[in-house]
Amino acid sequence: DGKLLIIVTPTYNRASQSYYLNRLAQTLRLVPSPLLWIVVEMNAASVETVEILMGTGVMYRHLVCKKNSTNIKDRGVHQRNTALEHIERHRLDGIVYFADDDNIYSLELFEKLRAIRRFGVWPVAMLSQNKNKAILEGPVCNGSQVIGWHTNEKSKRLRRFHVDMSGFAFNSTILWDPRRWHRPNSDAIRQLDTVKEGFQETTFIEQIVEDESQMEGLPNDCSRIMNWHLHLEASNVVYPKGWQASRNLDAA
């Protein structure tokens, strides 16, 4: 059906940004409309990002998050919150999905997002910290019913829901219509928190669903991997002397 997909992507300038954003844009371009890509930067809109977005052929909005943050661990939190505020203020009615620029997404995923009624969740494939072992994070399902979680927990304080940022999506109307959805907490959504690393997803999800019974596991039996979160980022890329590339390893 013609449900709007609202894809939220925090991004920032670095060597691989052009590669990542172009790759994601090309995937989004293959998704049937309507789809709105909300791309959010910190402090100011950069020339680099504008140039990439202009050539994508995807319907997008380029937002800027003005919140002062020097905490390196915030990694996109405030940018996602800026997008949530925008969605709520403009009453954008659709399925919201947080898609980081560096992940890998199948087309099947976007097809499945349109079937979500309230809150959809699925397992995401990742590499473990030392990058030699593939692990899953997300639900274990019986049909579409969530019956357990894949956990890779080392910390003592357990998370309520073991979900990756790229492993869930939800109906945007939950943000401004708590009664219709019997949201656990009818106050304003506190949005993504800067709580302890690793707890952002669960604290947010706890605000929009009561428990597993309000979740839809995707696809059937949660038996297939629809996206990958691999952490292959190269940090501190050194440019050869004399290269014209400024911050992005861009073509031309």
Q: Which residues are catalytic?
A: 201
* Nearest approach, Cβ of residue 204 and ligand UDP (Å): 14
Binding mask 51-80 for ligand UDP (x = CB under 6 A): ------------------------xx--x-
- Output the six-digit token pair for 70: 């020097």
Binding residue (CB under 6 A) for ligand UDP from 231, 237, 239, 246: 231
Residue closer to ligand UDP (CB basis): 164 or 216: 164
Any contact of residue 102 with ligand UDP (CB under 6 A)? yes
Any contact of residue 101 with ligand UDP (CB under 6 A)? yes
Q: Are 24 and 51 in contact (CB under 8 A)?
A: no
* Nearest approach, Cβ of residue 103 and ligand UDP (Å): 8
Residue closer to ligand UDP (CB basis): 82 or 207: 82
Q: Are 203 and 195 in contact (CB under 8 A)?
A: yes
Any contact of residue 228 with ligand UDP (CB under 6 A)? no
Alpha-carbon distance values, 88 to 85, 121, 173 (Å): 5, 21, 8
Whole-angstrom distance, CA of residue 111 vs CA of residue 158: 32
Closest CA to 99 of 13, 32, 36, 172: 36
* Nearest approach, Cβ of residue 192 and ligand UDP (Å): 11
Whole-angstrom distance, CA of residue 153 vs CA of residue 138: 12
Residue closer to ligand UDP (CB basis): 65 or 116: 65
211 labeled binding residue: no
- Output the six-digit token pair for 204: 């947010």
Any contact of residue 11 with ligand UDP (CB under 6 A)? yes
- Output the six-digit token pair for 211: 């428990």
Q: Is the dihedral of CA 141, 145, 147, 151 positive or negative?
A: positive
Binding mask 178-217 for ligand UDP (x = CB under 6 A): ----------------------------------------
Binding residue (CB under 6 A) for ligand UDP from 48, 100, 201, 216: 100
List interacting residues with ligand UDP (CB under 6 A).
9-12, 75-76, 79, 100-102, 231, 233
List, as residue ranges, the binding site for Mn(2+): 102
